[in-house]
Chains A and B, each alone.
Chain A
Amino acid sequence: MTLIALLWCIAAWLGLSVFAVVVARTAIVGTIVYAACLAIGMLGLSAGLEHLIAATAPAETIILPLGLPWLGANFRLDNLSAFFVLVVDLGAATASLYALGYGRHESEQHRVLPFYPAFLAAMNLVVLADDAFTFLVSWELMSLVSWALVVAHHHDRENIRAGYVYLLMASFGTVALLLAFGLLAGPEGSYAFAELRLHPPSETLAAAVLALTIVGTGSKAGLIPLHVWLPLAHPAAPSHVSALMSGVMTKVAVYAFIRIVFTFLGPPQWWWALPVLIAGAASAVIGVLYALNQSDLKKLLAYSTIDNIGVIFIGLGLALAFQTNALGAAAALAMAAALLHVFNHALFKSLLFFGAGAVLTSTGERNLERLGGLIHTMPVTAFLFLLASMAICALPPLNGFVSEWLTFQAVLISPQLPQWSLRLIVPAVGAMLALAAALTAACFVKAFGFAFLGRPRSDVAKRAVETDTFSLAGMFSLGALCLFIGILPGFVIDRLAPVTQFLLSARLPVQADVPWLSIIPISEGRSSYNGLLVFLFILISSLGAVLVIHTFASRKVRRSAAWDCGFPDPRPVTQYSADSFVQPLRRVYGTLVFLAREKVQMPTPGEMSPARFTVTMQDLAWRLIYSPIVHAVEFSAERLNVLQFMTIRRYLALVFSALIFLLIVLASWT
């Protein structure tokens, strides 16, 4: 029944899209569409939640008479898809709530509204699809609709370029997945997932499928070096769509990876974990280093998504490694950590994009060098953005810490692995994870500190006003969830048990039985964490300090000019800039990762020209991989260009010689 309800939700979203095409230019329609999306999203959310809470609910399947005539459109709701339906529809509902307010500031409403409900429907379709054909069609629909949303503001040339790169990379990813499913199905196999589950491929074939899956889903999720489109496309879309793309669509790619690798490929080989772990660790560290060097708030958030996807893939790689060696509980721990991070990242990254959107509508700026001081004019947005920043930096007692902590605990079980290469790689991956966490803290000190703190760096920042109630409600609901999961993680971890049971036939100990609402991933003597107590300790000691100091010591406050070592300068330019903030970090890491070079040109004394400071940084992924490909394509296109302007005789000669050549090949073949 739940599946039918979900399919009706999808149908309603698609209908809403058509409705929006017809009437997109009227003013009220935005409110109607977003309100309807919110209602449908809540419905889908409760359906997914219901399936997940009824832990023993059997998988439901439906075949609709659509698509390939001999196959139909298969849909299935099992524990894995129920969890991802939950993630997708939670994002959908909150984004729609936010858009009720944000959408009113949208200048290109008629380019956003028709595609928005279809985007939500497509993401739901992908996680419910139960045959390769439906899956790929939904996947492509998701790509195309989100592309349309990326280029909604097509007057900006940057956005057109972003859309172009996105379209190319999305098609490339789909091709990889198409080949992966082709290999899985074999020459006469069926494309229904039920068949694929029953007939795992041979060892070599499985390796090829794994490689194609990493490429296909990794390009959607933003694994390095397939990430190049992501920081262009995510910020280009309207902010609620950015939140969905970063927070939710990348998770749909994670879903595809889990679905293919953990349920179709049969028992894993030990070395499968290696590429996943390495790609995850590289994405985590390099992603956050990129994020640090951005001054564009939305670009910074997009790069930080790459970092978090890396963390998720580290968890998945560990789960693969443990599963190979029949360490069921450890695999369940790593998988639970990855899934929890999927959920957490969807929460706080959406919240951060909402905050960035609120700043954007209020000031028209997303450049950190022109923001500042917004904490005075937008206090609620600032508070919620701070909460999400703390969550993404993995600071207790918020939710990001719980998933990072679980991942660390999974890393610490790895000496039990018998393979030497894994035992050498995993501690290095753990160190990379710790490095990424520390750099994330630096990154979000920058993001929050330069957008919201300090003095306004431009007139628009000075004139900012607090955003509307609907936007705040959307942000608040996500912030409350971040805090709730951080304080009571055991509740959510227990809900993940059906998913790990389904994937790995193992689960974590029941956390609801642990006294004091602690979480204990393995055993009591090994490690435990209690978010509630940590939260209470912090609350009591800070409030206690306030109380004691205000009762027994001074409570007076005097306002005066800033001290600044006695030389305060009222001009906002004299503040530290976002770029100078990262300069030390750029020197430490950037010279290696980005080949960053700093050049100072000092005029000779007496000369009147200004001093000049230039920083050059190179994107190695572009330089080493993409530029050569672009050059090769351009080179061959230029060479083949002569074929376009030939006389009819030459064309005929060409066709004739091609025919002869093929006949010779055919003759020598048999």
Chain B
Amino acid sequence: MKLNKLNIAVVLIAGFLTTTSCSNFLDVESREIIEAGDSEDVITPEEYVNGVYGMFTDWNYAFAYLGITEILSDNADKGSSPTDSGTDKDVLDNLTYTNTTPSFESLWSHWYKSIGRATEAITYTENYGLTDEGYKNRLIGEAKFLRALNYFFLVRGWGDVTIQELDLIERKPAAEVYDYIEKDLTDAIAVLPLKSGYASADLGRATKGAAQGLLAKVYLYQKKWQQAYDMAQEVINSGQYGLESDYAVLWRVTSENGTESLFEFQGRGVAIAHGIQQYSETQGARGTSGWGWGFNTPSQNLLDAYNAEGDAIRRDATIIFRGEVMYDGRVVDVGVENPMYNEKAYSSANAGAADGDKNIRYLRLGEIYLISAEAANELGNSSGALADLNRVRNRVSLAAVTTTDQTQLRTLIYKERRLELGFEHDRWFDLIRTGQAEAAMTAAGKPFQSKHNLFPVPNAQINQTPEMTQNPGW
């Protein structure tokens, strides 16, 4: 046995083997993807909050949103060419939609993803270590406002819905969802600055007034009349807002984020463009001489409503008529495909561009007055109701309402909402909320059934979570 030789070899080999154990060998640096540890240095909490707002610029708001807020109501028709279904706008218009109709799935998902971004932004901001407590609280408040807004979209469409932060399968009763929304809004109101409290560069962010206004609307949907009234009055009396004197400018670029505006979805049309993807284009006049796809057109039913009221100002601010000359001098060719188009979607500067400068007005003082009026009337305060209602009517040169009969006044306020807020994406929910849907839709020749009171939970969601319940009739 050549032990010496063996020993030498063993020592040599042991040397070989141990050289391979270098501890850093496995810490390979990532080249193409930024490592999690590095991204925290790069991204600020504010950017995550901005990312929640960013969801408002999605294509969903330009197409699916039109379908499930206006086209299915008596205000609007599908529009466009008869052969162009616009994915599913035909079945929405005709109330023959099903649980697989894509627009419901798109927005159900989109609103939940927006909620997800808000929650992530809140968590990130809370843990980031911001030293400026006011700034930190403001960011959290903004995110909570946005989260509440998206839950409100969901609850008024589907009723019972899951609360993402709690459970992804069990749909919570609508009342519980409303509680959750109220909590977020109450928190937001406590920390958000007034509209005038923001730096100029932050114009467009969620304000205390926006949160209060939304809360008033949330109370209204729950028939919490006193709270709705009080909250609306807080906004009205905050000194931050006033009615635009001319209704016609309300949806024009000059009034963006103006005195009447509580909250808008922001869009920019010039380079670097970042509009609400194609919102103006999908609703622009269609045809050789048009500038858009021609969807979501005013119905005859709506036109009749304006005419019956003698409401020319709001009619002409809401509807583009074939052949008319518009405020900016544009001649709407008589050859365009449809007789009427939605003027509130019209962008003068970037009419047919994918990125338009149109801001979608989500909440404005005009509506707050109507919330206040409706709540006051339900509380038996007809004089308060009349005062608020007539402020809105006065602006558009309509005669003051004088009746103090609660039922009559209720009907008049409902009608006022339709005319004042035409094409502001509220009509369907007002119809459902106030129980007018069946009568109104039947009058419009649409086969309304009780199942239409709630949207169908998208079938794709049920496929993922078979235990989740479906709404009745779907």
Q: Do A and B bind each other?
A: no
Residues of B within 8 A of A (CB): none
